Amino acid sequence: MGAVRTTRTFSLDKEILAQVKRTKGGLSESERVNRLLRLALDLEKQGALEREIAGFFAAAPASRAERRAFESASLKSWARR
């Protein structure tokens, strides 16, 4: 089943619109904008996950023995999910 499309109105900077027109290739401008937005949303999600990962490991203990115990407990916790 294809995606349901909804028409919305957004304001785009003239420079952005010109670049979309230049780079659309065989796509319609709407298809190009949708692809760019999906890419931007994926990048944003990836950035959020990377920040979450960095925060998780920042809380890891500094000593090797403590870090191993922390990693072991984390793996056990993840295995229960």
pTM of the shown model: 0.63
- At 46 the pLDDT is 93
Q: DSSP assignment of the chain, as one string?
A: -PPPP--------HHHHHHHHHH-TTS-HHHHHHHHHHHHHHHHHHHHHHHHHHHHHHTS-SSHHHHHHHHHHHHHHHHH-
Q: Does 40 score more than 70 pLDDT? A: yes
More confident residue, 57 or 25: 25
Domain ranges of the chain: 14-80
> Are 70 and 77 spatial neighbours (Cβ–Cβ below 8 Å)?
no
Query: Average pLDDT for residues 30-44, to the nearest whole number?
Result: 96
